[in-house]
Amino acid sequence: MTTPSESDAAALERIFHEPNRMTLLSALCAAGDPLSFTDLKVRSGLTDGNLSRHLKALEKAGIIRIRKTFVGVKPRTTVTLTDMGLKRFDDYLSALSDVLKKAKQAMAGDRRKAPAMSVIGKKAFA
């Protein structure tokens, strides 16, 4: 039986492990091109403040690049995934996949040992 190890956990970068950041990075990967702050806000469902906080953390880690320009008199913020950020996110997703695969295998092994349970209504019977 294979179980997740400490090295597996070490490969899971904490910066990516937050669900909102995973959503943001997934949107950036899918877009391929820079996304505006507004696009990311709509795709993530985050408030301006929450989105700003997550983007600043990702920018500080070198995962994204934030560019602020003006279109006429209106400010426009665009976000791009850096090459290093894409590589790190890809490595994270591979590590997460490995950890989940090992957890699933461990659960399958544990199920064979545990007594069968049936659920009727809200009560469980062994």
pLDDT in tens, 12-38: 788 998 999 999 999 999 998 999 999
Cα(61)–Cα(92) distance, rounded to whole angstroms? 14
pLDDT in tens, 89-110: 999 999 999 999 998 988 887 6
Q: Which fold has domain 6-125?
A: Arc Repressor Mutant, subunit A (1.10.10)
Three-state secondary structure call for residue 120? strand
Question: What is the predicted pLDDT for the residue at 1?
Answer: 44
pLDDT band at 48 (very low <50, low <70, confident <90, very high): very high
Geometric angle at alpha carbon 54, from 61 and 93, rounded to 5°: 65
Strand 74-81 and strand 64-71: the pairing is: antiparallel
